[in-house]
Chains A and B, each alone.
Chain A
Amino acid sequence: GAVVSQHPSWVICKSGTSVKIECRSLDFQATTMFWYRQFPKQSLMLMATSNEGSKATYEQGVEKDKFLINHASLTLSTLTVTSAHPEDSSFYICSTEGLAGFEQYFGPGTRLTVT
Chain B
Amino acid sequence: AQKITQTQPGMFVQEKEAVTLDCTYDTSDQSYGLFWYKQPSSGEMIFLIYQGSYDEQNATEGRYSLNFQKARKSANLVISASQLGDSAMYFCAMREVPNDYKLSFGAGTTVTVRA
Query: Which A residues contact B (CB, under 8 angstroms)?
Result: 32, 34, 38, 41-46, 49, 91, 93, 95, 97, 102-106, 108-109, 111
Contacts and interface: CB of A to CB of B under 8 A. Distances in A.
A44 B44 CA distance: 12
B102 A46 contact: yes
A34 B47 CA distance: 16
Contacts of B33: 102
A43 B4 CA distance: 11
Interface in B98-112: 100-103, 105-108, 110
Given A43-B107, A43-B108, A102-B50, A32 B101 contact: yes
Contacts of B37: 106
Nearest to A102: B33
Nearest to A44: B105
Interface in B47-98: 47, 50, 52, 91, 95
Contacts of A103: 35, 47, 50
Q: Interface residues of B toward A: which range? A: 20 to 34
A45 B105 CA distance: 8
A109 B43 contact: yes
A39 B95 CA distance: 22
Contacts of A44: 45, 91, 103, 105
Contacts of A111: 43
Given A102-B50, A102-B95, A49 B100 contact: yes
A108 B44 CA distance: 5
Contacts of B91: 43-44
